[in-house]
Structure 1
Amino acid sequence: MTTETSARVPSAVRRAIFLIPVLCLTLLSAFLAAEAMGGPRTALDWVLVVLFTANLGWLALNGWQVVLGFVLHCLGSKAAPPLEVEASRIDVSVPPCSRTAVVLPIYNEDVTTVFAAVGVMARSLARTGEVDRIDLFVLSDTRDEAIWREEERAYDVLLAETGGKAGMPQVFYRRRLDNAGRKAGNLADFCTNWGHHYDFMVVLDADSLMSGDTIRRMIRLMEDNGRIGLIQTVSHPVNRETLFARIHQFAANLYTPLSVLGLNFWSQEDANYWGHNAIVRIKAFMAHCDLPVLPGKAPLGGEILCHDVVEACLMRRGPWEVRLLPELGGTWEELPGNTIDYAGRDKRWCQGNLQHMRFLPAHGLRWPGRMHILMGIMCYLSAPIWFAFLVLSAGQLILGEERGGYGLLTSGLFNPGAAASAMFALTLTLLFLPKVLSIAAVMADGKARRGFGGGLSLLASALLEQVFSTLQAPVLMAWYSRFVASTLAGRIVAWDAQPRGDRGVGLGEAFQCHAGHVILGLVMAAAALLVGPVLFWWMSPIILGLVLSPALTSWSSRRSIGLLARRLRLFLIPAETAPEPELREMAARAAPTLAAGSALRPALPPRGLIPMIPQSLIRRPLDQDTVDAD
């Protein structure tokens, strides 16, 4: 099957190939669960079957998506996404015909890192050739005066390096007086006041980095495909050095590629938008992506918090195509450095995704868009479903209501019945097959294998990552269950600046944050021992992860342990073993302390004037733009 033949496979067929096996596996799990119990007889039995089926259905969806990705990976160029093939053939030295703004919305961020990334991208773009039609914008929503004054100084330093130099793109900075709407409002303000000067905008996060080569390829794809409104890339986590972050970087770089290949297979022109590291057609964005106000009160109603998937649905309703490039490369992001900051970020995302339940029935949305919304919701709703299943199953055992001495919780491992054994095998397969396929795909490719430090390093790292994720899973399950419950109870999460960097967590802070987890683990251990040692040992990974959570959080947040792992060649990723020029430059430039800069800065392009005049003619003090309304 050639690439052209693959492209002609109807979307309906692709989606049937994705959905039918998932539905079959979900129904099979329901049948096996019912059979393992000897037939549900009580209301509790039926609740457990429903909970187990929901859990296995979610695992089946993710697992089958990876299986599809593995098949596509094995087919290689024969099944390569056509847009990806087109991107690989683009001559980036050919100047673009359109105008593009690369925008970085920021809010109380680490100034040195942000402006180092802007400088790296400016120089990377300059290396690709003519950049007169590409500008970079730092769009600040910072409220802290000390930070935004530092932003101004950093901007001065950057201009001293790049401003007015031949072959360099122009870099602009503006700070909003009113940060209504958060990031979505920041981008809306840019589009309203300056978007008509540009055809496209490359949307980044404060921790994003993108190569000039990738930006140029995305621009050309948008120029050559007039029906596409948005192209989303897959960014790779890099640059963190705590043990926690290194493990998660490793897992993301290893396990994500097959999943996004499978995702792209069925979504096609109905791809999702993740809010950053993407290029957007401004005309389409302004015409169709005005965010609605959801009915009801916050947190589930009111102003939309997680805007990205909603904007993708609205743009597709337009109708403009939304595409995903699974393998483009040259696009990176960063992860939180410890468990607590990671959970804090997910607390905001949890509320934002649950809020989409109010948007789900919106008129005119295509069903793949609704599917993306449901998947986002299930990322967090699956945790309380698992937790409820564990608690009710344990309660069934403690109360002695199970038949034959076994409940669904222990069926398959200790129950000799065929249905129970099959249920247990199906669960293990859906849990571990995606990881096994991802490891096999890398092991079979010499270049990819070397990117992870070689076969031995890869296997050792994957084994240790599995141990770590097994211990951390019950902690995240408990946290996400609490996040879901608090959101449904009406508690509003503060959307403050996201902690970044390699922040270590002391034992005191860790015990304070994990006290509830330790107590939960001890209660579960006592309850399991009431039933007997079999249940206790069966639940020991969950109990151990909860009881040890303070020590594990503190220990894994240490940068020294992460660097030791790197010296031992553990959790290596391709960005470390063969870093691209932008990553090497970013590592070299992020550390130096910023010096004081000049007093003059180029103004933003006037709202009624296309910014093609020489930079020297548009320089003026920006003090009037950076004074608080107070």
Structure 2
Amino acid sequence: MAETSPDSPKQVRPFFSPFRAGLRRLVFFGSVTVVNLIATYWLYDLFERLGVHRAHGLLLIVFFVLNGLLVLGSFHAIFGAWDILLGKKQAVRITKLAEEAGDIPLTRRYAVVMPVYNEDSSRFCARIEAIYRSIEATGHIEAFDFFILSDTRDLDLWVLEETAWTNLCRKLGGFGRIYYRRRKINSNRKAGNIGDFVRTWGGGYEAMVVLDADSLMDGADILKMTRVMEAYPNLGILQTPPKLIRGASIFTRLQQFAMRLYGPLFIRGLNWWQLGGGSYWGHNALIRLKPFSDFCELPDLPGREPFGGKILSHDFVEAALMVSQGWEVWLAWDIEGTYEEAPPTLIDHLKRDRRWCQGNLQHLWLIFARKLPLTVRAHLFMGIMAYLGSPLWFLFLIFGTWVAWDRAGSRLSNYAYDGTPVDRLLHIDGNTQSLILTGFIFLLLFLPKILAVIGSILCSRVRKSFGGMIPLVIGSLMETLLSMLLAPCVMVAHTAIVASIVLGHAVGWGTQNRDTDGTSWSEAATVHAMPTLLGLAWAALAWHISPTFAAWMAPILSGLILSIPVSVWTSRARWGKALLRSKILATPEELNPPSVMQLADVAKASIDPALDATATGRHGVVAAVVDPYVNGVHVSLLEPGEMTPGQEAVVERCLMDGWQTLTKAEQNELLYDAPGMLMLHRAVWLRPAEGIHSTWTQAVESYRHRLDAGYDGDQ
């Protein structure tokens, strides 16, 4: 093998033949382009029959883009089905490559990193515990270290993270293998958090498994991925397709059912053409650290937010930089044990989309950059159009309403002219031509679902994993109906989000809601008031134009008008659980939970009453001051130092007037001041109750109540 520079892939010949990859991309995108051009010309010919209208040109432009996106999505499913049926020998199976590498000890060290931001520490520690025990069961835990990378700003949650981590390490014997770090300044959000890890600790590891706080991965699959990365030195990123789990509400269950049933077709279709030029989705992936460190330092975009500044959707860009430097990015489509959770309600979903939308629209700066491969531009384009598609759909509906209004007002014949090329060639009238186009659009919309359902019914293993044929068919019909009702509301919301970003309103960095009792009627009325009123007004206008046009628009207008009750109803966990009892919208992971999920369900290592910062009256920061064990853990994680007179004054004010009288900056600085925290701890226990604030005296007194109640360590 020829020698290469230290910064280049060590494997000269790429795993995927450039000729084969280029041919596949030509076939795939060529097919999408040809079909879209034919459909667009069909609509143009139909407009010829109708006679010239000012909106026809605009409609054709918007239709070309929208239909192109529809064809692109449907062809991913079609090519995925083709790959599943005929391409088993050609499709790269990560599991097979791992088996070829052999069951030998790993030669390199690997990190499992989980960035967290204001999360429930007991829940993300349960996931870490499950992954740890799952890797431990493979016999290769010595090759892995774990890192909790905290950007948490809530000071109480910071203390809870420290105690949860300490308990986790004590129970698992993980000191020196499970690490915790909280950044004092959380610059550049998650990308900055990961970047800080790479710069500080990355040199000690060959690669890192990147997780989200809601991620869960099977240890055996992580081992397979590391074996493949060791065997193929030019592999830069190995991305897995996570499955959605733990959905309780109807909304989340719709998402996880759809992803589990239809997702494999799209994943295989995506992998069919991208091959070694894949993308990175930000989590549940294995990344080689040396090239990531060398090439993936993200630049600031020109100008200010929302389009400039720090790159929010960093993952696509990092994969683009890897591929542009000759490193391969693969999609590990056959890795099964990879999971994540989703927002529980439509409103939470839209809040997350607000952040993702701004990040994806920033990629407009990058999509035409020089020296980017075709696959990179394709991924960036699809990410951008995931959000620009909604305002384009909205425009298409407006232009269509404009044309219908003008034609109704002019009282012209619907089909004033025959003799167009389609008429001369096929000898069909305008109504038939219109119905054929409509049927083609609906075929593109529903063909992926039809292929997935038929394939699942024919495969007994898959059919049984979804609870049988009847629950599978009922669930797919319910998912289709509810998705049709939700889509118009999402369209209007995305259009408003894009408009807000274009007007210069940048997004903040909020915490994702991972659990909820459901959306209240008042919240739904506030959030969905605009689409509801828009739907009512549009329905009145459509009926005024003609009952036929109103019927044509009914599926979209119904979704807008019913957005409030649909949002509330789909947020209810109790209805989701009722469906699960009937196996409706059930997924294989619910009916037969994998071992790593079972481990996470019973994981309690981070919870121990001997070291606890959650008790009433001694929660979070108060526990870090008062509780001897919590104070000891917190101080041990701080840098030693000497107190200044100013810091002593802050400590005295905190003692006398209470924690809440300090400013946010003073609170943060005090919690980083080891001598100050020790001084506070001693003072609340040694000074007379009359000389300190009631917060501290009540917390100290609570220990006496616990002893008086006969506390035995099990409460």
Would you say same fold, with TM above 0.5? yes
Aligned with 1:121 (options 128, 131, 143)? 131
SS in 1 for 2:413: coil
Q: In structure 2, what residue type is equivalent to 1:447?
A: R
- 1:396-435 superposed Cα distances (whole Å, 9 cap, x missing partner): 211226963379xxxxxx9843432221121111101111
Tell me the residue number matched to 2:200.
193
TM-superposed CA distance for 1:296, in Å, is 2.1
Aligned with 2:356 (options 349, 352, 355)? 349
CA distance in 1, matches of 2:235, 2:581: 45
Asked if 1:10 is matched to 2:2, the reply is no
Tell me if the contact between 1:415 and 1:421 (Cα under 8 Å) persists in the aligned partners. Answer: no
CA distance in 2, matches of 1:142, 1:341: 20
Tell me if the contact between 1:231 and 1:278 (Cα under 8 Å) persists in the aligned partners. Answer: yes
Tell me the residue number matched to 1:288.
295
CA distance in 2, matches of 1:478, 1:99: 48
Tell me if the contact between 1:7 and 1:81 (Cα under 8 Å) persists in the aligned partners. Answer: no
Distance 1:459 1:625, change over 3 A: farther
Distance 1:299 1:170, change over 3 A: same
CA distance in 2, matches of 1:84, 1:369: 26
Distance 1:104 1:6, change over 3 A: closer
Tell me if the contact between 1:107 and 1:140 (Cα under 8 Å) persists in the aligned partners. Answer: yes
Asked if 1:622 is matched to 2:637, the reply is yes
Distance 1:395 1:504, change over 3 A: same
How does 1:299-378 map onto structure 2 within 5 Å? 299-378=306-385
SS in 2 for 1:399: helix
TM-superposed CA distance for 1:527, in Å, is 0.7
Tell me the residue number matched to 2:162.
152
CA distance in 1, matches of 2:72, 2:241: 20
Tell me the residue number matched to 1:32.
42
TM-superposed CA distance for 1:76, in Å, is 5.8
- 1:38-63 superposed Cα distances (whole Å, 9 cap, x missing partner): 26734411001111121111000111
Distance 1:444 1:359, change over 3 A: same
Distance 1:516 1:214, change over 3 A: same
Tell me the residue number matched to 1:139.
149
Asked if 1:500 is matched to 2:514, the reply is yes
Q: In structure 1, what residue type is equivalent to 2:524?
A: A
CA distance in 2, matches of 1:565, 1:590: 29
Distance 1:52 1:135, change over 3 A: same
How does 1:462-611 map onto structure 2 within 5 Å? 462-589=476-603, 595-597=609-611
Aligned with 1:260 (options 242, 256, 267)? 267
CA distance in 2, matches of 1:232, 1:491: 32
Distance 1:90 1:510, change over 3 A: farther
Aligned with 1:56 (options 67, 71, 84)? 67
TM-superposed CA distance for 1:572, in Å, is 0.7
TM-superposed CA distance for 1:83, in Å, is 4.0
Query: Which fold has the larger relative contact order, with Cα–Cα distance below 8 Å and residues 6 or more apart in sequence?
Result: 1
Tell me if the contact between 1:174 and 1:625 (Cα under 8 Å) persists in the aligned partners. Answer: no
Q: In structure 2, what residue type is equivalent to 1:58?
A: L
Tell me if the contact between 2:164 and 2:606 (Cα under 8 Å) persists in the aligned partners. Answer: no
Aligned with 1:72 (options 73, 83, 94)? 83
Tell me the residue number matched to 1:111.
121
Tell me if the contact between 1:117 and 1:209 (Cα under 8 Å) persists in the aligned partners. Answer: yes
Distance 1:84 1:372, change over 3 A: farther
CA distance in 2, matches of 1:268, 1:138: 32
CA distance in 2, matches of 1:50, 1:578: 48
How does 1:241-256 map onto structure 2 within 5 Å? 241-256=248-263
CA distance in 2, matches of 1:558, 1:171: 37
TM-superposed CA distance for 1:556, in Å, is 1.2
Tell me the residue number matched to 2:461.
447
Distance 1:121 1:260, change over 3 A: same
Tell me if the contact between 1:243 and 1:562 (Cα under 8 Å) persists in the aligned partners. Answer: yes
TM-superposed CA distance for 1:95, in Å, is 2.0
Tell me if the contact between 1:37 and 1:403 (Cα under 8 Å) persists in the aligned partners. Answer: no
SS in 2 for 1:139: strand
Tell me if the contact between 1:338 and 1:504 (Cα under 8 Å) persists in the aligned partners. Answer: yes
Tell me the residue number matched to 1:458.
472
CA distance in 2, matches of 1:449, 1:87: 28
Q: In structure 1, what residue type is equivalent to 2:470?
A: L
Tell me if the contact between 1:94 and 1:129 (Cα under 8 Å) persists in the aligned partners. Answer: no
CA distance in 2, matches of 1:38, 1:544: 31
- 1:165-224 superposed Cα distances (whole Å, 9 cap, x missing partner): 9xxx82111100010011000011001011111110011111100011011111111100
Asked if 1:405 is matched to 2:414, the reply is yes
Distance 1:420 1:576, change over 3 A: same
SS in 2 for 1:499: coil
SS in 1 for 2:535: helix
Which runs of no fewer than 5 residues in structure 2 stay unpaired?
A: 1-14, 417-427, 614-633, 642-666, 671-715
CA distance in 2, matches of 1:339, 1:261: 28
Tell me the residue number matched to 2:645.
none
Tell me if the contact between 2:279 and 2:376 (Cα under 8 Å) persists in the aligned partners. Answer: yes
Q: In structure 1, what residue type is equivalent to 2:574?
A: S
Tell me the residue number matched to 2:217.
210
Tell me the residue number matched to 1:610.
none
- 1:122-168 superposed Cα distances (whole Å, 9 cap, x missing partner): 11110000321210110000000011111111112211210259xxx
Tell me if the contact between 1:156 and 1:598 (Cα under 8 Å) persists in the aligned partners. Answer: no
Distance 1:595 1:75, change over 3 A: farther
CA distance in 2, matches of 1:197, 1:31: 58
TM-superposed CA distance for 1:446, in Å, is 1.0
Tell me if the contact between 1:136 and 1:171 (Cα under 8 Å) persists in the aligned partners. Answer: yes
Asked if 1:162 is matched to 2:172, the reply is yes
SS in 2 for 1:294: coil
Q: In structure 2, what residue type is equivalent to 1:11?
A: A
CA distance in 2, matches of 1:403, 1:207: 58
Tell me the residue number matched to 1:240.
247
Aligned with 1:384 (options 367, 387, 391)? 391
Distance 1:184 1:164, change over 3 A: closer
Tell me the residue number matched to 2:440.
426
CA distance in 2, matches of 1:589, 1:404: 70
TM-superposed CA distance for 1:591, in Å, is 12
Q: Percent identity?
A: 36
Deviates more, 1:484-493 or 1:5-14: 5-14
Asked if 1:184 is matched to 2:194, the reply is no
- 1:85-111 superposed Cα distances (whole Å, 9 cap, x missing partner): 3135555x5321101000000100122
Q: In structure 2, what residue type is equivalent to 1:232?
A: Q
CA distance in 2, matches of 1:51, 1:155: 53
Please say which structure displays the higher CA radius of gyration. Answer: 2
CA distance in 2, matches of 1:490, 1:126: 49
Tell me the residue number matched to 2:33.
23
Alignment length (residue pairs): 599
Distance 1:7 1:454, change over 3 A: farther
SS in 2 for 1:10: helix
Q: In structure 2, what residue type is equivalent to 1:126?
A: E
Tell me if the contact between 1:30 and 1:52 (Cα under 8 Å) persists in the aligned partners. Answer: yes
Deviates more, 1:583-592 or 1:111-120: 583-592
SS in 2 for 1:539: helix
TM-superposed CA distance for 1:361, in Å, is 2.0
TM-superposed CA distance for 1:532, in Å, is 1.4
SS in 1 for 2:364: coil
CA distance in 2, matches of 1:595, 1:205: 27
CA distance in 2, matches of 1:387, 1:218: 43
Which runs of no fewer than 5 residues in structure 1 stay unpaired?
A: 408-413, 600-618
Distance 1:398 1:74, change over 3 A: same
Tell me if the contact between 2:93 and 2:333 (Cα under 8 Å) persists in the aligned partners. Answer: no
Q: In structure 1, what residue type is equivalent to 2:118?
A: N
